[in-house]
Amino acid sequence: MGSTLKGRLPVPNLNTEKDRWCQLYKVLNEPRPEIIPSPRQAVWKKNKSVLWYYPAKEKKYDIPLFMVYSLLNKPYILDISEQNSVIGNLTKQGYDVYMYDWGSPGLEDKDITLDNYILDYLEMAIRVALRHSKVSEISLVGYCIGGTLSAILASITDLPIKNLVLAAVPIDYSDFILPDQWVNAIQDGTLNLDRMINAYEVIPSEFLYATLLALQGFNIGPNINLITRGHDQAYVDKWRRMDKWLKDPVTFSGAAFKQMLNELYKNNKLVKGELVIGGKRVDLRNIDCNILVITSTNDNLVLESQSLPVMDLVSSEDKTYQLVEAGHVSICLTGKFAFAIDPWLSTRSDLN
Amino acid sequence: MGEEYTSNPYESFRVFSEMWEKRLNDLLIKSIDQRELTMLTQLGVTAHSRYIERMKRNQELIANMINIPTKKDVANVAKLTVQAEEKLDILQQQIWELQDAFTLAFREQNKLVKEFMEFNQNLQTEWDKSKKELIEVKKINTEVKKLRQELADYQGTKTIVEELKTELTQLKEIKSEVAQFKEMVRMENQKKPLVTAE
C-alpha cells in the first residue's frame, strides 16, 4: 500500500524548484529589465512624439509599414525583446517599418484634441514617412485606439494609403467591456467625467493605470502563471518585460480624453457617421483601400463586436477579417502580430 | 525514482486559481452592475473634482503671493516651443512644396531642352539635306542651260529645214509644172501625124 501511494504522489523536482524560486527572488529584488529596441533612427520629432524608422534587414517589399499604437500605453510593446519583437520580425520579413510614438503629454499639451492628434501629428508623420521612404504608397497599421485614429484618418485624408490593417480596434462603442449599467450611465450622461478632466487638465498616468487595473477586476492570473512557470527562464523574462510595460503607462491630454469619452464612448459618433475631425465629417465609407481587420479570441479589453462593424462600414472591395488565437496584449508581446499580418500584407506590398 | 510521478505541483494550483478568478470577476461585475452605484460614483467624481480645482486654485494663489513660478507657468513657456515647432513644420511643408515645384520645373526644363536639341539636330539634318539638294539643283540648272543651248541650236536647224521644205515645195511645184509641160508636148506630138495623111 505504502509503495503504491509513493508512486502516485507528485514528487517535486528539486532543480526545477530551485530555478523557480531563484527566478521569483530575482523578479522581486532585481531592477526591471532594460528594453533594447531594434536598430532604428528618429526621422521626425514633434512636441513629445517621435517617428521611428526601422530599416528592413533585407528589403523584400516596396511599400513600407506605418505602425500607430494606442494613445493609452507606450508603444515599446511592439519591440519588447529581440525574439518576440513585432517590429523586429517585420523587418526580418523584409518590410521597412515606421512606428509613431505619441509620447507622453505634459501640462502644456492639455488642449491637444483628437483633431490635432490625427491631422497635425499623425497625418504629418505619414507625409514625412512617405517623403523619407521615397515611395508613392504606404501601408497603415493601427493597433487598439491607434487603429481607431488610423481609420478616422484614412476616411478623411488624401494620403496614398494602399493597405489598412486594424488590430484590436474599437470602432463601435455601443457596447464595451464595462457592466451594462455603467455603459448606460456613460451614454445617458449620468456618469460624466468632464469636470474631473477639466480639473486635472492632463489625465495622470496613475489614473489610467488604476482604470486599467479596475477594468481587469481580480487579475491574479499573471502572478499565478509566474509561479507556475517560474522555472522557465524565457517565460520569466517575457513576464518581466510585460510587467514593466504594464506599469509604465502614459499621461493623456485632457481635451483628447474628453473628446474620446463624449464623442466615441458616449455618443458613438464614429459608427453613426457624425464625428467631425478638422471640419470634415468622418465617413468610414470613404475608405476604399485594401483592409485587414484582426481581433483576438481572448481579448478582454476590446470586444469582437466593437471591431466587426468596420467590415460593413468601409467601401473597400478587398477586405479580410481574421481572428487570432491570442489576447489583447499577448498578440504583441509574443510577436504573433507580425506573423498574423505578413501573409496578407506580403501579397499587397509591391508597387503596381 | 524512475517510477515516481514527477509533476509541476503548481499546475493544478493555476487551474484552480483561474477558475476562482473567473468566478470572482463574474461576481464582481454582477455586484457593481447597479444604477445607484454609478450615481454614487458621479457624486464621488464631482467631490473629487471640486477638491482638485480648489487645490489648484490655492496653489496658484500661494505661488502668486510668494512670487514663484508654478507648473502652469513652465507649461506656458513650453507651449511657445511647441508653437515654434509648429511654425517650423509649416515651413518644412512649404519647402517640400517648393522642392516639388522645382523638381517638376526642372523635369519640364529638361524635357524642353531635349526637345530643343532634337529640333536642332533635325534642323541640321534638314540643312545638310538642303545643301545636297542645292548642289543637285545647280547641276540640273547647268544641264538645263545646256539643253536650252541645244534647243537654241535645234531652232537654227529647224529654220534650215523650213527653208529646205519651202524649196522642196517649190521644187515639187516646178516638177508638177514640168509634168504639165511634158503632157502638153505629148498632146502636141499626137495631133501632127493626122494632118500629113490627107
Identity of the residue in B14, B29, B48 whose CB atom sits nearest the CB atom of A228: B14
Q: A253 φ, ψ to 5°?
A: -60, 130
Put simply, whether A217 touches B (Cβ < 8 Å) is: yes
Q: Is the pLDDT of residue B4 over 60?
A: no
Q: What is the pLDDT of residue B2?
A: 44
pLDDT at B198: 44
Within a domain: A5: no
Q: Looking at CA atoms only, how far is residue B115 from chain A in angstroms?
A: 28
Which chain A residue shows the shortest CA-CA distance from B4?
A7
Q: Do A218 and B48 touch (CB under 8 A)?
A: no
User: Looking at the domain assignment, is residue B104 inside a domain?
Assistant: no
Round to whole Å and give the CA distance between B25 and B29: 6
Confidence (pLDDT) at A127: 94
Residue of chain B with shortest Cα separation from A8: B5
- Residue A123 included in any domain: yes
Is residue B162 less than 8 Å (CB to CB) from chain A? Answer: no
By Cβ distance, the residue of A7, A200, A221 closest to B52 is A200
Residue A9 lies inside a defined structural domain of this protein = no
B contact test, residue of A4, A50, A108, A261 with most B CBs within 10 A: A108
Q: Is residue A339 part of a domain?
A: yes
Is residue B59 situated within a structural domain? yes
How far A128 CA lies from chain B's nearest CA (Å)?
Answer: 10
Virtual CA dihedral for A7, A9, A10, A15, nearest 10 degrees? -70
Q: Quick check: B67 pLDDT over 90?
A: yes
Decide if B54 is inside a domain. Answer: yes
Instruction: Answer whether residue B161 is part of any domain.
Output: no
Residues A341 and A294: beta-carbon distance below 8 Å = yes
CB atoms B38 and A191 under 8 Å: yes
What are the pLDDT digits (tens) for B122-148?
Answer: 999 999 999 999 999 999 999 999 999
Neighbour-count burial of A283, counting CB atoms closer than 10 A to its CB (0-12 exposed, 13-18 middle, 19+ buried) = middle
Do residues A318 and A291 lie in contact, with contact meaning Cβ atoms separated by under 8 Å?
yes
Range of the domain at A319: 38-346
Residue A193 near chain B (CB below 8 Å): yes
Q: For residue B31, which residues of chain A lie inside 8 Å, CB to CB?
A: none
Q: What is the average pLDDT across B16-34?
A: 92
CA distances from residue B102 to A129, A249, A299, B109 in whole angstroms, order as listed: 21, 45, 51, 10
Tens of pLDDT, residue by residue, chain A (352 residues): 445 555 566 667 788 888 888 888 988 888 888 999 999 999 999 999 999 999 999 999 999 999 999 999 999 999 999 888 999 999 999 999 999 999 999 999 999 999 999 999 999 999 999 999 999 999 999 999 999 999 999 999 999 999 999 999 999 999 888 899 999 999 999 999 999 999 999 999 999 999 888 888 888 888 999 988 888 888 999 999 999 998 898 999 999 999 999 999 999 999 999 999 999 999 999 999 999 999 999 888 898 999 999 999 999 999 999 999 988 888 888 888 999 999 999 999 987 6
- Separation in Å, CA of B57 to nearest CA in chain A: 10
**pLDDT for residue B1 is more than 50:** no
ipTM score assigned to the predicted complex: 0.83
Interface test with A, best of B17, B55, B81 (most A CBs within 10 A): B17
Amino acid letter, B135: I
Q: Please indicate, yes or no, if residue B133 is contained in any of the structural domains.
A: no
pLDDT exceeds cutoff 70 at B110: yes
- In this complex, do B38 and A182 lie within 8 Å of one another by their Cβ atoms? yes
Interface test with B, best of A3, A228, A253, A258 (most B CBs within 10 A): A228
| Contact across the interface for A46 and B89, Cβ inside 8 Å | yes
Residues A147 and A170: their CA atoms lie apart, in Å, by: 8
Per-residue burial over A49-72, b = 16 or more CB atoms within 10 Å of its CB, e = otherwise: bbbbbbebeeeebbbbbbbbbbbb
In a domain, A262, yes or no: yes
Contact A191, B43 (CB under 8 A): no
What's the length of chain A?
A: 352
Tell me whether residue A53 is in a domain. yes
Answer yes or no: is pLDDT of B197 > 50. no
- Per-residue pLDDT, A350: 85
Query: What's the pLDDT score for residue A1?
Result: 45
Residues of B in contact with A109 (CB under 8 A): 82
Contact A241, A76 (CB under 8 A): no
Q: Give CA–CA dist A85/B85, Å, rounded.
A: 32
Q: Can you tell me the distance from the alpha carbon of A301 to that of A216, in angstroms, rounded to the nearest whole number? A: 8
Asked whether residue A31 is domain-assigned, the answer is no
Of A16, A181, A218, nearest to B38 by CB-CB distance is A181
CA B145 from chain centre, in angstroms, equals 53
> CB distance from B40 to chain A under 8 Å?
no
Strands A65-68 and A41-46: unpaired
Cell of B150: 541645244
**SS3 of chain A:** CHHHHHHHCECCCHHHHHHHHHHHHHHHHCCCCCCCCCCCEEEEEECCEEEEEECCCCCCCCCCEEEECCCCCCHHHHHCCCCCCHHHHHHHCCCCEEEEECCCCCHHHCCCCHHHHHHHHHHHHHHHHHHHHCCCCEEEEEECHHHHHHHHHHHHCCCCEEEEEEECCCCCCCCCCCCHHHHHHHHHCCCCCHHHHHHHCEECHHHHHHHHHHHHCCCCHHHHHHHHCCCCHHHHHHHHHHHHHHCCCCCEEHHHHHHHHHHHHHCCHHHHCCCEECCEECCHHHCCCEEEEEEEEECCCCCHHHHCHHHHHCCCCCEEEEEEEEECCHHHHCCHHHHHHHHHHHCCCCCC
A228:B28 CB<8 A: no
Q: How many CA atoms lie within 13 A of A139 on its CB side?
A: 26
The stretch B79-107 carries a mean pLDDT of: 92
Query: Do A185 and B38 lie within an 8 Å CB cutoff?
Result: yes
CATH number at residue A167: 3.40.50.1820
- The answer to whether position A161 is within a domain reads yes
Measured in angstroms, the CA of A14 and the nearest CA of chain B are apart by 10
Contact A329, A69 (CB under 8 A): no
Rounded to the nearest angstrom, the minimum Cα separation between B7 and chain A is: 6
Residue B36: give the domain boundaries.
8-68
Q: CA A96, CA A57: separation in Å to the nearest integer?
A: 8
Residues 6+ apart with CB under 8 A from A328: A144, A168, A296, A298, A299, A300, A301, A302
Structural domain count of chain B? 1
B144-163 confidence digits (pLDDT tens): 999 999 888 888 888 888 89
- Alpha-carbon gap: B13 to the closest alpha carbon of chain A (Å): 8
Region B176-182: mean pLDDT is: 91
In chain A, the number of structural domains is 1
Q: Are B39 and A190 in contact (CB under 8 A)?
A: yes
User: Does B78 contact chain A (CB < 8 Å)?
Assistant: yes
Q: What is the pLDDT of residue A27?
A: 86
Per CB-CB distance under 8 Å, the chain A contacts of B93 are 124, 127
> Does B106 reside within a domain?
no
Indicate whether B13 belongs to any domain: yes
> Which residue on chain A is closest to B71 by alpha carbon?
A107
Taking alpha carbons only, the member of A30, A108, A267 closest to residue B76 is A108
Residue A19 pLDDT: 87
B contact residues 93-132, partner A, Cβ 8 Å cutoff: 93, 96
Distance from CA of B131 to the nearest CA of A (A): 51
Asked whether residue B88 is domain-assigned, the answer is no
Contact: A7, B21; criterion CB under 8 Å: no
pLDDT score at B91: 93
